[in-house]
Structure 1
Amino acid sequence: MAALEEEFTLSTGVLGAGPEGFLGVEQTDKADQFLVTDSGRTVVLYKVSDQKPLGSWSVKQGQTVTCPAVCNFQTGEYIVVHDHKVLRIWNNEDVNLDRVFKATLSAEVHRIHSVQRTEPLVLFRRGAVRGLEALLTEPQQNIEAVIPDEEVIRWSEFFMVFKQPVLIFITEKHGNYFAYVQLCKSHGLSKYTLLLGKEEKSIKQNFTARVDGKFISLVSLSSDGCAYETLIPLYSNDAENNQRLGRALMLKAVVSGGARNGTTITILDQDHVAVLGPLLPASKECLSIWNIKFQTLQTSKELPQGTSGQLWYHGEALFMLHGKCLTVIPYKCEVSSLAGALGKLKHTQESDTHSMPHFVNWETCSGYEPESYSAEQSRTKGSEKHIEVELRKFLAKSTPDFHTVIGDIVAGLLERCKTEPSFYPRNCLMQLIQTRVLSYSLCPGLMEIALEHTDVQMLQLCLQQFPDIPESTTCACLKLFLSIGDDCLRDININMESVFDYSDTIQDEKKEMEEQTEIVQNGFSPEDSSCSKDSQQLNKKPEDEAKETISFPMTACPVASKRAALLNAVLHSAYSETFLLPHLKDIPAKHITLFLQYLYFLYLKCSGNATMTLPGVSPPTLSQIMDWICLLLDANFTVILMIPEAKRLLLNLYKFVKSQISVYSELNKIEVSFRELQKLSQDKSSRGLYSIEVLELF
């Protein structure tokens, strides 16, 4: 989830925003201080927490600042360029820019980029790049032309990738766009042609980017209102210098398709982007945050005074021009998951859960070539055993930058399973599930194939780990668990953590049928129930006496322990009652009866425990047991009522519920009495230091 917090305005008395807004907002070496450069002559240093300027500097009348001022993180000094070629460097103590360090360069500057842990880089209009130190040593050095004539730089960004400074800039020429990647240490330069739609050539493109592994994820906001992603390699092995790169749809309809100007997109993290622009054709300007993984709008804020179409973000704050004021909007973005979006996120999460990027990057796993693991080549290379061995090697890698997209691997294996019915790499799929990064939404065909192969062990594992399983699939698993024979389960390895030892609960059934237990369990005594007479009358009927012999005894588990473990996995699964009830009606009546008998057995064991819990590592809770009993009865009550074997079970459930109502009624009385005692204690707290009182509760 993401949220936009209350906005506030920075003082703008010394700033003058032009028709296209400000030149830039840049971070300084102080986390709370930012340099804001207007489109005229002024640079202002702001302290955001105080919402006021700390300093202001302007060039002389007739001069114009031509690129955003930045901070040199190595020295703490500020750098700006005016009139395209004149570079100025100053610090907080300087008052007049005309008296600070000045260097006149031999070529026009497009922009200066500065990030932490390296010196600033100067990007010239013709595409050449120079480090600041080398440039200051010889300001009039010859600057070569990198890009052809009539090609103009439209956007640029600077990254640090494994201590390697990397600069990317996008150029445009006659409606065609090109990407240049400059590796500053090795002086390697790669050029790529960006393939855009024909309708895009007449529209000014908006770009944002981030580094993910060995790729630059370049995101552009298109004229159709959609966001597209292009993956640009950091290291090019192609002998051809101008590779053509296509794009893929990342977000659909994030802004109105008719919006031509004033739209901007900015990547916030691997899951979220911020978008500036109208959401609908008739709506006003909005700032919105979108979830990349699940294609959902997380939050939005209307901007009635309009914007310049510019958006900057630093830390956890967004900067924009709202009306004529520079506005700051703090934001929060949490790690996203479909389970969290649907309210099905499990509270207990394993410490070894890995985060997962949204696209495949095999190259982050050093030592393995992407071709060895692609889904297409897995169809022709190697047997299931070979895949299993190679996958085990791959999963064993644990480098600091280790990121794998398990969902894409599973998708490739499942696709082959569909085309080759004899292919079922069970061990590989089990290894992938045990990485704990999968969900149903990432591999929707996995559980269906497991159901086709009656693979109850894999289904149990999926039920235990997937937080977003559809109710129809949960019911399909329940049908299988109730119908599969005990002989089939005997040789299957099933996780038994949720099942306690039933050996001490099995008693002589004949003795259980002849006499009722006299032990009161949590206030329940079968003989105290008003239904005892009905039970006796029922037992007096010859036909019912014969049928009672097939009903299960109160203390004997009606299912084998392995089946119980599978059913417990269903009890733990998340669901929505509205969507689950229709599917429960499709389960055969005899299986519903068996499941109810098992739930009743668990309920008795909970009631017999003072803590109202079951033993075991992760047994079903009393709430889960009661919820499922209610669900089964709501969905199948008429059918169950017609089954002779279920009559005694229904009668026992009725008696038990009635007794529990009585128990809770008495507990409520005790609670009220204790509240009165607490009031008396508070009233008498100021009295003597010692007293004895006797109160009769009943």
Structure 2
Amino acid sequence: MAALYEGYTLCGLVPSPNLSNSGIQGIEVERDGDHVIVTDSFRSVTLYKVSDQKPLGSWTVKQGNCLTCPAVYNTQTKEYVAVTDNKVIRIWKEDDVLIDKTFKATVSSDIWKIHCVAGGDPVVLFQRGSFRLLDSLLSAPQQTVEEVLASDETLRWSTSILAENQQFVIFTTEQKGDHFLYLQKLKPNTLQRYKLEQEDPSLAPLSFSVSCRDKLIHLLYLYPNGHVYQSVISVWGPRLDEGSQNISLPRNLLLALNVGEGQLDAASALLLDEAHVAIIGVPHPSAGAGKDFLCIWNTNFQTLQAGKEMAGKIFGLIWCYSNKLFIPHGKTLSVIPYGCTKSSLASALGKLKQSRTEESKPLMSVPSWSNILHEEKIHPSRTVETRKLRTKRKNQASPSLTVEQVLELIKTASVEEVQKEVEGLFSRTDIQDLNQSVGQLASVLVSRCLADTAFYPPTTLAQLVHTQSLSHSVCPEFVQLALEKKDYFLCQLCLQFFPDIPENVTCTCLKVFISMQDNDAAKVNLEPDSVSFMETLTAKGRGQVGLQNGFNSTSSPEDHSVVTMTELEEEKRAKWPDQSCPVGLKKAALLNEILQTAYSDDLLLPHLKDLSSQHVILFLQYLHFLYLKYNQDTFPQSHGYRSPSLTQIMDWVCLLLDAHFTVLVMTPEAKGLLLKLHTYIRSQVKLFSELGKLEGGLQELQQMKTKQDVAQYSIEVIELF
């Protein structure tokens, strides 16, 4: 099975006025799957961190220049490479501000694209079909580039892959209505050329997609009539000589999609795995003639697995990185996570058993497909049960309920009955895809709790969160219900396990937590690990006696109660004075969960402005307390508890100051606190400045060449600056 999950917007787009162009040339992965480079159709390259939905850097070429191919990231040199005006290669680093002041080289022939695959060398593909390794080209930019394609042959699409420790550049061309596939191996330099079977003289492939499996390259291509074909090529195929340049490439039909009236003009098909294909711009089978859909099809069983309507015009573009689909539509670039499970006939027939533990796994002979399909009975002698399983089956008073029966039971049964049946459901191992039913169980439970104030099963709700198969987008009212019922333990679990809590919900939880009275918070049951961390953090006197950096500060070995305070320790005590926690321990544990929740600065700041000045001051005082504790020598650096990091603490200080700076400056109670925060932020800036100098020194040492003729005794002076 395959599923499309709740998507989100990565950035806005500026499509062409007539909506013929999305405004994007390409999207390339950067250092990992969570960082992508978006190149627009004009002059800008932007680096995004996908999970944070925010840009980390942006570069623009000057007026009069134009980017002519998507920028790529060279993982070997950690540099960005782009092409302007077809012939000018530009290279820059992340800390460069202006592209125009960085390295550039002009080549002798027009460039089609630069391909950079992880683990391979950057390759420059020219519009006439020849290629050069980037390093080789930059050593002599004006070198002559040969023409591989015929004079009337045009390059249409290209990509680069790694297969069997070999790097390939794959591209397609068109010549007088015929379409060809080129397979260029880099080392050794060999070229294979195939002719694609013609679908119809008037039809040209709309999109291509490539993957490599079992030493075979799989080429997927989509035609305007909705036919999706696949061709398979061996990575060890022989080089084709001049007499066999027009050898036909065999193909097989994977899907024949219904395109409705007319033909497809903006559609694309993308291989996800060996059995699933994502297709954009093709009508949904049950939604009429509209072509603004994203669908995932199973090619083994010709079935539609998931579908999602996309708002705005579809441009027929789709990219995939780290189980996320990137799709421009309308004026938006959306990111849609997806999941695909392995496809098999056993799962299609419902005969695929879930994995069990060794203890509960019965010793049973495997039934044949003949028995399953023809409903033949398995001989009792082939089944062997353990005594434990027979006893367990005998002790079952009533048959277990299915997921559908439990969903119906939740609507009318008591809290005790619901808790019993849900626990029984999760304890069973014969339920197929139980995690996919968690969202249904949560939605039905929350709906009844909101409608019936007397019904509230906290244990069952917490159990659903602990499965880690639930998220805010699946059940948006879940956190709201926990806040209404003042179930702060459940709120804490949601903040820990929900990966997609919106910023407004985070701020709502913050308001509730910060406004709680400490006496009321002390009565709340919370996750023990979070409370233990605060108890450890606020414990006084720990770590002062005994060895510190191998030195015992006691006055004598016999008397460990007398501690000698050195001048250095007195200075540290004056710099980092003892300070009591401004909030109760359990209230602090809840605030720590807020500090560790994911957020986007731009989305969080407007909601933070709704906090009152008293709450902001109290929260800043608590952050100040955490900062002091984290910078003391007695703070346990490796405590093993779930706790906020120093970076998260400083980030929240900056957020609160940004959101309420004017109010805080005019509030007399906040004056002293602001002065202290200013002092500590200044010390942090100084610390990072010194660390930067140290980093520069270490880099200089690393780059220095070690002399081989060093005698047994020598004195060497190293000048770093």
TM-score (norm 2): 0.50
Larger gyration radius, structure 1 or structure 2: 1
2:335 to 328, 335, 345: 328
Match of 2:372 in 1: 469
Structure 2 CA distance, aligned partners of 1:323 and 1:77?
A: 31
How far residue 226 of structure 1 moved from its aligned partner, in angstroms, is: 2.2
Say whether 1:258 aligns with 2:262.
Answer: yes
Cα distance, 1:117 vs structure 2? 1.2
Q: Deviations over 1:562-601 (max 9, x none)?
A: x5425x59xxxxxxxxxxxxxxxxxxxxxxxxxxxxxxxx
Q: Which residue of 2 aligns with 1:112?
A: 114
| 1:123 is the counterpart of 2:128 | no
Is the Cα–Cα contact under 8 Å of residues 152 and 172 in structure 1 kept in the other structure?
A: yes
Q: Name the amino acid aligned to 2:228.
A: A
State the 1:306 CA deviation.
2.2
Matching residue of 1:162: 164
CA shift, 1:340, in A, is: 2.3
Deviations 1:419-468 (A, max 9, x none): xxxxxxxxxxxxxxxxxxxxxxxxxxxxxxxxxxxxxxxxx97x625499
**Residues 611 and 12 from structure 1, CA distance in 2 versus in 1: closer, same or farther, beyond 3 angstroms?**
closer
1:28 is aligned to 2:30: yes
Going from structure 1 to structure 2, the CA distance change for 1:236 and 1:204 (only over 3 Å counts) comes to: closer
Match of 1:311 in 2: 318
User: CA separation of 1:82/1:611 partners in 2, compared to 1, >3 Å: closer, same or farther?
Assistant: closer
Give 1:414-493 correspondences, 5 Å limit: 464=367, 466=369, 469-470=372-373, 473-475=374-376, 478=377
Aligned length: 389
Quote the offset at 1:279 in angstroms: 2.5
C-alpha displacement at 1:256, in angstroms? 4.4
Aligned-pair identity (%): 40
Cα 1:120–1:263 change in 2 (3 A) is same
2:225 equivalent to 1:220: no
3-state SS, counterpart of residue 262 of structure 2: coil
Contact in 1 for aligned 2:215/2:234 (Cα 8 Å): yes
Secondary structure of 1:127's match?
coil
Which residues in structure 2 correspond to 1:214-363 (within 5 Å)?
A: 214-237=215-238, 240-253=244-257, 255-256=259-260, 258-277=262-281, 278-280=283-285, 282-348=289-355
The answer to whether the 8 A contact 1:205-1:221 is kept is yes
Cross-structure match for 2:191: 189
Structure 1 equivalent of residue 60 of structure 2 = 58
Partners of 2:226 and 2:264 within 8 A in 1: no
- Residue 288 of structure 1 and its aligned partner are, at CA, apart by 0.7
Aligned CA distance change for structure 1 residues 349 and 108 (closer, same or farther; 3 Å): farther
In the alignment, is the contact (CA less than 8 A) between 2:7 and 2:335 conserved in 1? yes
- 2:160/2:169 contact within 8 Å kept: yes
Deviation of 1:305 (Å) = 1.3
Would the aligned equivalents of 1:118 and 1:165 in 2 still touch at CA under 8 Å?
yes
Three-state SS of the structure 1 residue aligned to 2:367 is helix
Q: 1:152 aligns with which of 150, 154, 157?
A: 154
Correspondences of 1:591-670 after superposition (within 5 Å):
610-612=391-393
1:610: how far off? 4.9
Structure 1 residues 344 and 57 mapped into 2: Cα distance closer, same or farther (>3 Å)? same
* Aligned counterpart, 1:695: none
Distance 1:53 1:343 in 2: 45
- Secondary structure at 2:108 match in 1: coil
CA distance in 2, matches of 1:244, 1:622: 67
Query: CA 1:246/1:73 → structure 2, altered by over 3 Å: closer, same or farther?
Result: same
Helix, strand or coil at the partner of 1:37: strand
The residue type paired with residue 66 of structure 1 is T
* Deviation, structure 1 residue 191: 0.6
After superposition, give the CA deviation of every residue in 1:245-270 in whole Å (9 maximum; x if it has no partner): 13111123165473321110001111
Quick one: structure 1 residues 611 and 126, their matched pair in 2 at CA, closer, same or farther if it must change by over 3 Å? Answer: closer
Q: CA deviation at 1:190?
A: 0.7
Question: 1:272 is matched by which residue type in structure 2?
Answer: H
After TM superposition, the structure 1 = structure 2 runs for residues 550-569 of structure 1, keeping only pairs within 5 Å, are: 564-565=380-381, 568=383
- 1:10 is displaced (CA, Å) by 1.8
Kept in 2, the 8 Å contact 1:284–1:304? The answer is: no
Task: Return the offset for 1:211.
Answer: 1.3
Matched position secondary structure for 2:347: helix
| Aligned partners of 2:315 and 2:328 also within 8 Å | yes
Once the 2 structures are TM-superposed, how far is the Cα of residue 178 of structure 1 from its aligned partner?
0.4
Q: Does 1:4 align with 2:16?
A: no
Residue pair 1:606, 1:612 contacting (<8 A) in 2 also = no
Once the two structures are TM-superposed, the CA of residue 215 in structure 1 deviates from its matched residue by 2.4
Q: Deviations over 1:101-142 (max 9, x none)?
A: 000011101001011112211110000011111011011111
Separation of aligned partners in 2, 1:294 and 1:15 = 37
Distance 1:20 1:611, change over 3 A: closer
Of 141, 163, 182 in structure 2, the residue corresponding to residue 139 of structure 1 is 141
Structure 2, gaps ≥5 residues long: 359-363, 400-721
Tell whether the 8 Å contact from 2:292 to 2:310 is kept in structure 1 after alignment: yes
Q: Distance in 2 between matches of 1:26 and 1:134?
A: 23
CA contact (8 A) 1:339 1:345 kept: yes
Distance change >3 Å, CA 279–CA 96, structure 1 → 2: same
Amino acid at match of 1:328: V
Q: Deviations over 1:68-101 (max 9, x none)?
A: 0000011111000011000000011111111110
**For the residues of structure 2 that align with 1:338 and 1:622, how far apart are their CA atoms?**
35
Amino acid at match of 2:64: G
Q: Is 1:226–1:255's contact at 8 Å kept on the other side of the alignment?
A: no
| Cα distance in structure 2, aligned partners of 1:119 and 1:130 | 10
Query: Given residue 7 of structure 1, which amino acid in structure 2 is its aligned partner?
Result: G
SS in 2 for 1:196: coil
Distance change (3 Å), C-alpha of 1:145 and 1:175: same
Indicate conservation of the 8 Å contact 1:317/1:331, yes or no.
yes
Correspondence for 2:212: 211
| Structure 1 pair 156–346 and aligned structure 2 pair: CA distance change class (3 A) | same
The runs of 5 or more residues in structure 1 that have no matched partner are 352-459, 482-562, 570-601, 615-620, 625-698
Conserved in 2, the CA contact under 8 Å of 1:345 and 1:467? Answer: no
The question of whether the paired residues in 1 share the 8 Å contact of 2:69 and 2:84 is answered with yes
**What amino acid maps onto 2:276 in structure 1?**
H
Contact 1:218–1:230 (CA under 8 A) maintained in structure 2: yes
Deviation of 1:174 after TM superposition, in Å, equals 1.7
Q: Is the 8 A contact 2:163 2:235 kept in 1?
A: no
Letter matched to residue 214 of structure 2: G
The CA distance in 2 between the partners of 1:270 and 1:110, in whole Å, is 30
Cα distance, 1:623–1:268 mapped onto 2, change above 3 Å: farther
Matches within 5 A, 1:523-538: none
2:6 aligns to what SS in structure 1?
coil
Q: Secondary structure at the match of 2:100?
A: helix
| Per-residue CA distance 1:583-637 (angstroms, 9 max, x = gap) | xxxxxxxxxxxxxxxxxxx9xx9999754469xxxxxx9999xxxxxxxxxxxxx
1:17-37, Cα deviation, whole Å (9 max, x unpaired): 973221100000143211101
